[in-house]
Amino acid sequence: MENKILDFLKKKQDYISGDHIAQRLGISRQALWKHIQALKDSGYDIEAVPHLGYKLISSPDRLFPSEISRHLNTKFIGEKIYYFDSVPSTMDIAQQLSMKGAAEGTLVLAETQTKGRGRLGREWNSPKCKGIYMSLILRPQIQPGLAPMLTLLSAVSVCEAIREIAGLDIQIKWPNDIVMHSKKLGGILTELSAEMDEVRFVIIGIGLNVNNDKKALLPSAASLKDIKKEEINRIELLQEILRRLETNYLIFQKKDSQPIIEKWRDYNITLGRRIKVLYHRKHIEAEAVDIDNDGGLLIRNDSGLIQKITAGDIVHCR
């Protein structure tokens, strides 16, 4: 009901009569008043003026599922949203939900994480209401070896969404770092549960620095606000990420990896570069030459030998 009341308030910039809303929703004025109080308790600033009615002054900077679902228009991604103020990690919640049979497209969101994790055992700093911290459950019918493609697909989706909402040309450092001006804005953590030849579920964890203040960031990191010099609407950005994820995922499932790899190439800053990589416990320098059909990075060492890197970290040399 609160959602429907918000629809009325958001449609009108001006005051809207309580009688009108109550009548249209088939509730009493007293019931309406109670729902308005509940909305105020959630952080909506709603002005009530006798004889004029209610007016929405501002909405809280929160990723409430009701706000995310409004005009989202996806088929299954984000159809079910679990929202938390604070959790250790959205990955753990998504794991538990997946094991209990949560549907494909189920989304776990948190305003902050106390034990947010990044790749290779790193920590993911998740300051409250500043970023996007989400885990998405997918159940793709693919061979487990193709799962890294979902990391690339997610990185592409995030870049497309940032371009659309913030107008920034973001880049991808293989495999999953979202960067701009060599500073890291976000990353993707993909966790897989699979049999020998069948994927049970994949959890796509996305962490993005959105409205973080520069001072609070590591020297190697940046936020969209820091680059754009203005606050970014996290709700609009998250909605666009979900839409792009769905579109790209459907393309990936219907066709093959190629259309996603082509998009990834457009955003990547790794191919053609000299890189340093940890390979079979040794650091080697090589040239990043191409991306394989399963998302692996093909590198050419100084003897001309081509090798495929499927995991780990790389450093751009120059």
118 in contact with ligand BTN (CB under 6 A): yes
- Give the phi and the psi of residue 27 in degrees, each rounded to 5: -125, 165
Q: Which residue in 53, 205, 295, 296 binds ligand BTN (CB under 6 A)?
A: 205
The string of DSSP codes covering 195-222 is -SS-EEEEEEEEEEE-S--GGGS-TTB-
Q: Which of these ranges, 27-35, 59-67, 153-161, 204-212, lies near ligand BTN under the rule CB under 6 A?
A: 204-212
Contact characters 30-69, ligand BTN, x per CB under 6 A:
----------------------------------------
127 in contact with ligand BTN (CB under 6 A): no
- Give the phi and the psi of residue 222 in degrees, each rounded to 5: -145, 165
Q: Which residue in 8, 44, 124, 174 binds ligand BTN (CB under 6 A)?
A: 124
Residues 168 and 74: their CA atoms lie apart, in Å, by 24
81 in contact with ligand BTN (CB under 6 A): no
Is the bond leading into 259 cis (omega within 30 degrees of zero)? no
Q: Which is nearer to ligand BTN, 156 or 206 (CB)?
A: 206
The string of DSSP codes covering 208-258 is EE-S--GGGS-TTB--HHHHHSS---HHHHHHHHHHHHHHHHHHHHHS-SH
Residues 166 and 216: their CA atoms lie apart, in Å, by 21
The string of DSSP codes covering 89-132 is -HHHHHHHHHHTTPPTT-EEEEEEESS-B-GGG-B----TTTEE
Q: Which of these ranges, 182-190, 215-223, 244-252, 295-303, lies near ligand BTN under the rule CB under 6 A?
A: 182-190
Q: Which is nearer to ligand BTN, 116 or 127 (CB)?
A: 116
Q: Which is nearer to ligand BTN, 205 or 296 (CB)?
A: 205
Residues 56 and 173: their CA atoms lie apart, in Å, by 42
CA–centroid distance for 24 within its chain:
36
**In the range 84-113, which residues lie near ligand BTN by CB under 6 A?**
89-91, 113
125 in contact with ligand BTN (CB under 6 A): no
Question: CB of residue 284 vs ligand BTN: minimum separation in angstroms?
Answer: 22
Tokens of 253: 């499932």
116 in contact with ligand BTN (CB under 6 A): yes
82 in contact with ligand BTN (CB under 6 A): no
Q: Tokens 């105020």 map to which residue?
A: 40
117 in contact with ligand BTN (CB under 6 A): yes
Q: Which residue in 35, 62, 119, 173 binds ligand BTN (CB under 6 A)?
A: 119
Q: Please list the residues that pair with 46 across neighbouring strands.
A: 56
DSSP 144: G
Question: CB of residue 127 vs ligand BTN: minimum separation in angstroms?
Answer: 12
Q: Count of residues binding ligand BTN (CB under 6 A)?
A: 21
Q: Which residue in 122, 128, 200, 214 binds ligand BTN (CB under 6 A)?
A: 122
Q: Which is nearer to ligand BTN, 65 or 118 (CB)?
A: 118
Question: CB of residue 253 vs ligand BTN: minimum separation in angstroms?
Answer: 23
The residues that touch ligand BTN, with contacts defined as CB under 6 A, are 89-91, 113, 116-119, 122, 124, 133-135, 176-177, 187-189, 205-207
